[in-house]
Structure 1
């Protein structure tokens, strides 16, 4: 009886907590947009024209408008000039560059080779670590950090923000036919979530890296 009650309670927790956490994040983002943009709208519009939620709508509209403008050549050029200035500022270039590269990596529109899902073989064992191939050319790094044919792989941690960047021989890395989103979901949930990859033999990177 006690075990049945415990299992029932655990099932409820596992059902409710992901939903509550997701809703909390969505509400927090919406409230933040409303607080910031809503305050600006209140200062511009008269009190009877403003209604709660206008800030959130304005935020969505602004993001959509930026997306449309970025499709024009002139705006893209202006953005590139502003980005170059940001990337010349100490500290700012580190933070901005890291955030930009991270979101660009996991963007559904990204077509770059960086971020391919791979499995890294642990020498002397049958263990495999799932990660993301970040760089195949390490020639710009100090010679002490790599050898010919080595690659850089990022290994995220489960259930927390963080991970390790490891340098390994290309022969120890095998491509995995997963999308980046599927692999990240699999890693962050310690294997509890993530679509199964389709069949097909996996080929070592040794022949293509080096």
Structure 2
């Protein structure tokens, strides 16, 4: 990967906890859309004022997209500099003082620590796996295997698998399934996350036969 790509990726990983926090909070606030959305009385007032868009809407979108990309790249430069660690610590101290936002941000940070391949400790022992519910042939789920150490339940070996949600794999389910249902999957955690983020458009690696 080129230097520009590495810097941009660093900035993206640094911004991802905040972006995920904003996404989750925005999703919660969308429940109020029926009161403040375009079809509401407030929305109709805004439309009457001419704030609903115009011929330059596409240009405004492209400009905003470019500004976001530039901001992410600039954040990557800051993280690569000596100010990165100090700035990150200061930002986390500030945001963790906000009651509701701090909980969401903490969950987002844990997710980023999983997908950040530079943090070897956070992904140590984790690997993608295929889980065949009911055994082969059966419904196959691409999951994350936190540990290969089985748990004895009812005299049988069970493995814990993490099944992310799509398209934002910040949530999901932790399921203990029979060890015979689980087989290793090709690729790494990056490939697994890309499958979920793309909602299956990116094909997973070939399952063992």
TM-score interval (norm. to shorter): 0.3 to 0.5
Higher relative contact order (CA 8 A, sep 6+): 2
Q: TM-score, normalised by structure 1?
A: 0.45
Q: TM-score, normalised by structure 2?
A: 0.46
The structure that has the greater radius of gyration is: 1
